Homo-oligomer: A and B are copies of this chain.
Amino acid sequence: MHKGSSLNKEVALLKNLLTQNRLKLTQQREAILEAFLKVDHITAEELYRVISKKKRPQMGLATIYRTLNLLCKIGIGQQRHFDDNRTIYDNVLHKKHHDHLICNKCEKIIEFESPAIERLQEEMAARHGFTLSNHRLELFGHCIDWKNCRDWQKDIKRK
| Chain A residues within 8 Å of B, Cβ to Cβ | 20-23, 66, 69-70, 73-75, 78-79, 81, 84, 87, 101, 103-104, 110, 112, 114, 116-117, 120-121, 124-125, 128-145, 153, 155-157, 159
Contact = CB atoms under 8 A, between A and B. Distances in A.
A140 B132 contact: yes
Contacts of A144: 129-131
Contact of A114 (B79, B104, B120, B142): B120
Q: How many copies of this chain does the complex contain?
A: 2
A129 B145 contact: yes
Given A101-B130, A112-B128, A130-B141, 16 more contacts: A20-B153, A22-B157, A23-B157, A78-B140, A81-B81, A84-B87, A101-B124, A104-B133, A114-B124, A117-B117, A117-B121, A117-B124, A121-B139, A131-B141, A132-B139, A134-B140
* Main SS at interface, chain A: mixed
A100 to B, nearest CB: 10
A30 to B, nearest CB: 17
Nearest to A112: B124
A133 B124 contact: no
Contacts of A130: 101, 103, 110, 139, 141-144
A61 to B, nearest CB: 15
